[in-house]
């Protein structure tokens, strides 16, 4: 450890700060055929040869569906006071329309009751990428009707759980759903159609707006409705006007395309101009922007690494980071004139650069974009190649350093005026990392994929001390 880190003053957090961890349904639940659940687009995609590493699927995942009691007890033992999880849409509404399956909802009722009994505050994400396959067969997110189906689903879940869950997140990372799902095709449903990806983005925005209204129509007013975005912290290799224009384009396609309508009621003019060769945006109907521009109670931000770009005529120094996997198709419609560069510095197992300053920047930016809105870091974390030692302990000092750096950045942002109310570590435990299968371990808790035994890593113990004391423990020697 560096001397300055040793001698630095303690990093302390406000008493009401939420110390949470996050997961999502398809990544941890398994039990994909139980209680009437039908396939989602991720079941179909992961069962399609060549789509995920080693053909891995979420069929069993980490079997949280059957082990949720053990998992909640483990969170309580770690001293977490919040848990963000997602609802599997096809478990609750198998065809994506019509009445709910009560057995599906019952699982989440039991989970929520267990959390509350352990003093852990639940935060529900309604959509973390597992669209019922039947809705994809009907056109998926590029079709407007999917947004209305989402609102119906939101209402069902809001009615069932709104009496006991106060924090609601409509969508997780709609950028990934739209641009990795329908643009580069590295995520389900694996389509590669630039115009469809922009229509998907708009219909996800519309789903957020309709879903937020639906939730509010059935839930107590005290409940908070928000969304988890994964905005890019876009940096340019120089201040050259061509590089700055490239940066603006990626900022629009990563950030403005969602926060524009959600926070300001309009798509950025620069986005409309940059994508005019791909779509005329006639899928945006009168009244949509008002629907999307719902007052939010908070804003969720997911952050992993910054993005470095230049105009395309410069030599890019590394492989183009396409988000979550390589593809011949770009997830950036209309941005063929932008080059992506590897940011300097140490990287995690995903190849993502470790840069806590990006998280500070992001929190300060959204303090300006959404003045007065409480912020939550709804995901942040790192994958490492963790392995148990001969005594069965899992020592992950790199993850501790990552968490220390990023939580310190959150604290600096609070000092600088950002109203950050909580932090959800990604992820509670190792799980199915989408197209990467089980090869990338993001968990604070190690999962042995043969026995499914859970072992808290040293980072979990470190985070536990932070959660219990409200102060970051020192880095390990």
Q: Least distance (Å) from ligand IFM to the CB of residue 231?
A: 12
Q: Name the residue nearer to ligand IFM (CB basis): 211 or 325.
A: 325
Q: Least distance (Å) from ligand IFM to the CB of residue 323?
A: 9
Q: Name the residue nearer to ligand IFM (CB basis): 185 or 334.
A: 185
Catalytic residue among 56, 114, 136, 379: 379
Q: Name the residue nearer to ligand IFM (CB basis): 11 or 425.
A: 425
Site for ligand IFM in 351-390 (CB under 6 A): 379
**125 forms part of the interface with ligand IFM (CB under 6 A):** no
Q: Is 411 helix (H, G, I), strand (E, B) or coil?
A: helix
Q: Name the residue nearer to ligand IFM (CB basis): 288 or 433.
A: 433
CA 67 to mean position of chain CA atoms: 23
- 197, 331 contact by CB (below 8 A): yes
Q: Least distance (Å) from ligand IFM to the CB of residue 3?
A: 33
Q: Name the residue nearer to ligand IFM (CB basis): 213 or 342.
A: 342
**433 forms part of the interface with ligand IFM (CB under 6 A):** yes
Per the annotation, the verdict on 173 as an active-site residue is yes
- 65, 29 contact by CB (below 8 A): yes
Q: Is 232 helix (H, G, I), strand (E, B) or coil?
A: coil
State the sign of the Cα–Cα–Cα–Cα dihedral 52, 128, 412, 462.
negative
Torsion of CA 34, 39, 41, 44, to 10 degrees: 110
- Reported as type and span, the H/E element at residue 310 is strand 307-311
Residue written as token pair 């107590």: 220
Phi and psi dihedrals of 393, rounded to 5?
A: -85, 150
Q: Name the residue nearer to ligand IFM (CB basis): 136 or 173.
A: 173
Phi and psi dihedrals of 175, rounded to 5?
A: -60, -45
Q: Least distance (Å) from ligand IFM to the CB of residue 201?
A: 17
**24 forms part of the interface with ligand IFM (CB under 6 A):** yes
Write down the H helix ranges in 118-193.
133-137, 145-161, 174-175
**46 forms part of the interface with ligand IFM (CB under 6 A):** no
Q: Is 26 helix (H, G, I), strand (E, B) or coil?
A: helix
Q: Is 118 helix (H, G, I), strand (E, B) or coil?
A: coil
Q: What's the rounded Cα separation, in Å, for the pair 92 and 40? A: 12
Q: What's the rounded Cα separation, in Å, for the pair 28 and 48? A: 20
Task: Annotate each residue in 262-301 with x if it binds ligand IFM (CB under 6 A) or - if it does not, as one string.
Answer: ----------------------------------------
Per the annotation, the verdict on 77 as an active-site residue is no
**143 forms part of the interface with ligand IFM (CB under 6 A):** no
**232 forms part of the interface with ligand IFM (CB under 6 A):** no
**57 forms part of the interface with ligand IFM (CB under 6 A):** no
Residue written as token pair 């990604």: 426
Burial (CB count <10 Å: 0-12, 13-18, 19+), residue 230: buried
Q: What's the rounded Cα separation, in Å, for the pair 251 and 254? A: 5
Q: Name the residue nearer to ligand IFM (CB basis): 27 or 291.
A: 27
**302 forms part of the interface with ligand IFM (CB under 6 A):** yes
CA 453 to mean position of chain CA atoms: 25
Instruction: Count residues near ligand IFM (CB under 6 A).
Output: 9
Q: What's the rounded Cα separation, in Å, for the pair 389 and 387? A: 6
- Reported as type and span, the H/E element at residue 367 is helix 356-369
**173 forms part of the interface with ligand IFM (CB under 6 A):** yes
**426 forms part of the interface with ligand IFM (CB under 6 A):** yes
Q: Least distance (Å) from ligand IFM to the CB of residue 51?
A: 16
Q: Name the residue nearer to ligand IFM (CB basis): 142 or 443.
A: 443
Q: Least distance (Å) from ligand IFM to the CB of residue 177?
A: 10
Catalytic residue among 56, 173, 361, 433: 173
* Catalytic residue list: 173, 379
Give the footprint of ligand IFM on this chain (CB under 6 A): 24, 27, 173, 302, 324, 379, 426, 433, 442
């Amino acid at each position: 450890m560096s001397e300055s880190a040793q001698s630095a003053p303690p990093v302390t957090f406000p008493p009401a700060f939420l110390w949470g961890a996050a997961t999502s349904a398809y990544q941890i639940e398994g039990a994909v055929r139980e209680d009437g659940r039908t396939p989602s687009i991720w079941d179909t995609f992961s069962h399609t040869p060549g789509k995920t590493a080693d053909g891995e699927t979420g069929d069993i995942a980490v079997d949280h569906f059957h082990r949720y009691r053990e998992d909640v007890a483990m969170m309580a033992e770690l001293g977490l006071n919040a848990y963000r999880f997602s609802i599997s849409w096809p478990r609750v509404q198998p065809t994506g329309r019509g009445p709910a399956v009560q057995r599906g909802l019952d699982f989440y009722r039991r989970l929520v009751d267990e959390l509350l009994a352990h003093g852990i505050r639940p935060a529900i994400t309604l959509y973390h990428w597992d669209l019922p396959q039947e809705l994809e067969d009907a056109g998926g997110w590029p079709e407007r009707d999917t947004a209305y189906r989402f609102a119906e689903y939101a209402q069902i879940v809001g009615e069932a759980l709104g009496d006991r869950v106060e924090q609601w997140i409509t969508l997780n990372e709609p950028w990934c759903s739209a641009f990795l799902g329908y643009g580069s095709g590295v995520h389900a449903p694996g389509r590669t159609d630039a115009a469809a990806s922009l229509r998907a983005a708009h219909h996800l925005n519309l789903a957020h707006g309709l879903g937020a209204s639906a939730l509010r129509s059935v839930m107590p007013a005290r409940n908070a409705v928000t969304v988890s975005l994964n905005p890019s912290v876009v940096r340019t290799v120089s201040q050259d006007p061509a590089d700055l224009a490239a940066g603006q384009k990626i900022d629009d396609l990563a950030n403005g395309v969602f926060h524009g309508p959600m926070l300001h009621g309009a798509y950025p003019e620069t986005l409309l101009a940059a994508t005019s060769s791909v779509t005329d945006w006639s899928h945006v109907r009168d009244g949509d922007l008002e629907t999307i521009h719902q007052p939010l109670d908070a804003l969720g931000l997911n952050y992993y690494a910054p993005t470095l770009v230049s105009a395309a005529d410069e030599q890019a120094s590394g492989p183009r980071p396409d988000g979550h996997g390589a593809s011949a198709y770009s997830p950036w419609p209309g941005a063929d004139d932008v080059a992506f560069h590897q940011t300097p510095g140490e990287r995690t197992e995903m190849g993502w650069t470790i840069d806590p300053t990006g998280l500070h920047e992001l929190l300060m930016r959204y303090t300006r974009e959404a003045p007065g809105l409480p912020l939550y870091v709804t995901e942040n974390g790192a994958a490492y190649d963790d392995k148990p030692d001969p005594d069965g302990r899992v020592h992950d000092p790199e993850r501790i350093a990552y968490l220390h750096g990023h939580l310190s950045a959150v604290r600096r942002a609070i000092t600088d005026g950002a109203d950050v109310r909580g932090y959800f570590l990604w992820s509670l435990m190792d799980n199915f990392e989408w197209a990467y299968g089980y090869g990338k371990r993001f968990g604070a808790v190690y999962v042995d994929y043969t026995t499914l035994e859970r072992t808290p890593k040293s980072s979990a113990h470190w985070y536990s001390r932070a959660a219990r004391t409200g102060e970051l423990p020192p880095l390990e020697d």
